[in-house]
Amino acid sequence: MTAPRTLTADLLVLGWGKGGKTLAASTAAAGRRVVMVEQSSLMYGGTCINIGCVPTKTLVHAADERREGDDPQEYFDRAVSTRDALIGKLNDVNLHMLADHDTVTIVDGRARFVGPREVEVAPSAGGAGLAEHLLISAETVIVNTGAEPALPAVPGIDGPRIHTSTSLQHVEPFPRRLAVIGAGPIGLEFASMFRSFGSEVTVIARGERILPDEDDDVADAVREVLEHEGITILTGTSVSEYVDGPDGVALQGTDDGNGAPLVADAVLVATGRRPATADLGLEQAGIEVDEHGAVVVDDQLRTSAEGVFAMGDVHGHGQQTYLSLDDSRIVASALTGDGSRRLSDRVAVPSTTFLTPPLSAVGLTEHEAREASHEVRTVLAPVAGIKAMPRPKTLGDARGVIKVVVDAQTDLVLGARLFHVDSQEVVNLVALAMRAGITATQLRDGIWTHPSSTEALNEVLGRLS
């Protein structure tokens, strides 16, 4: 057997996610040799660009623009075509972000550790010219392989009508009836999207309510909006088997209201994601993982193997592309900076679930704050009743609520849940205020543009009790 061809580098990055590509580009700009390994050319740029944040939000926007008379299949096909054209452009931009550097080598293939800071890459379909196994060693290695859908072991889950959040974006034909398994952010986002596209949507949750990590009043407000849109929500329900048939897939363990199992044209399984570490050969490099398969890292994202770092979803410390970007700052600080940046520096990290309207969150829930022994002041304000917030009304969507939790002793904001138009922008201001130690009173008395959603803070924070 012919020995693999060898390649050496200063930096080897496994996976083209946000953190990895950012560090790779800055390292290459400094004149150092970089090898980027990506298993598929369709994933240049990582999950967010190709199958996650950007394509799904493109579809959310298209769904919101659909008119009542638009044929669901035709409209969905046009929306997917627009999505694909955009993603193709972004994929190419990300390719040239690295390929245009003389010191960067891009390898398409499946990587597996064979020793400390050494991987063997096998050719993959659609690869950029890799015709044989390649052995790559580097001074520094970044594990940046992301996460993947975690499917429960339920009979029939490998059926042709069962989808992940990736495959559902190109579902064919368009499902007249869609069942969504899971009532977390991903499941609800797709449920809202496909309802707007014209599907009859049923959300199935094992727990007694949706959004189990949120306070009851916030979760109830979200449920009210979803149900008003025509989404059926079944809680306390588990699917025991998926039975494919000529009229769709029957979800055993559910009830369609007539004593028979619910039947759907397509099923989205959105029950969580797991770090993509299987078959990486991490044990060959002495890289420790936890019970969930996540790479164990220290406060500077160093793994248990010298010279190996982990970034992004693969280490299990939050699955957002902006956290992966911050990971690149931490690793760059450790490698070429003063080493001062830490994972533990992160506070008040915001997030948004792109329902219609979007649900944004930062900091503690009221329940979490009380569990942490804070004495709190809270406010829960329906958006429709906030007089100083005309922006949602001008857009014809005054649904939702705002909830803020404040420390009664310090007047500092402990957390906020913003369920309204523009919340994905307002939450960033609240998060910045929390990081900077700005008090609730200062936010209440802030001067904000009009009409905007931000100015709701003037009125809402004046209602704290």
Look up the CATH number of the domain holding residue 254: 3.50.50.60
Mean pLDDT score, 370-396: 97
Give the burial class of 160: count Cβ atoms within 10 A of its Cβ; 0-12 exposed, 13-18 middle, 19 or more buried: exposed
In the chain the first and final C-alpha atoms are separated, in Å, by 75
Q: Could you give the C-alpha distances from 443 to 171, 268, 451, in angstroms and in order?
A: 45, 40, 17
**Are 204 and 260 members of one domain?**
yes
**Are 168 and 260 members of one domain?**
yes
- pLDDT of 50 reads 95
Q: Provide the domain count of the chain.
A: 3
- pLDDT of 288 reads 97
If pLDDT is split at 50, 70 and 90, which confidence band does 131 have? Answer: low
Mean pLDDT score, 221-235: 97
**Are 47 and 93 members of one domain?**
yes
Q: What's the domain range around 333?
A: 5-148+274-345
Tell me whether residue 420 is one of the annotated catalytic residues: no
- Count CB atoms within 10 A of the CB of residue 115: 13
Mean pLDDT of the chain: 95
- Which residues are paired to 405 by β-bridges? 378, 415
Q: Is a pLDDT exceeding 70 seen at residue 458?
A: yes
**Are 90 and 141 members of one domain?**
yes
* Domain termination residue (choose one: 329, 345, 361): 345
Q: Among 96, 292, 367, 450, which one carries the catalytic annotation?
A: 450
- Answer yes or no: is 39 within a domain: yes
**Are 28 and 138 members of one domain?**
yes
* Angle formed by the axes of helices 216-228 and 185-197, nearest 10°: 20
- With a CB cutoff of 8 Å and minimum separation 6, the contacts of 153 are none
Mean pLDDT score, 186-194: 98
* Domain termination residue (choose one: 345, 373, 388): 345
- Answer yes or no: is 157 within a domain: no
- pLDDT of 125 reads 56
- pLDDT of 303 reads 98
**Are 39 and 138 members of one domain?**
yes
**Are 195 and 267 members of one domain?**
yes
* Domain termination residue (choose one: 240, 271, 302): 271
Q: Is a pLDDT exceeding 70 seen at residue 138?
A: yes
Q: Is a pLDDT exceeding 50 seen at residue 1?
A: no
**Are 297 and 442 members of one domain?**
no
- Answer yes or no: is 458 within a domain: yes
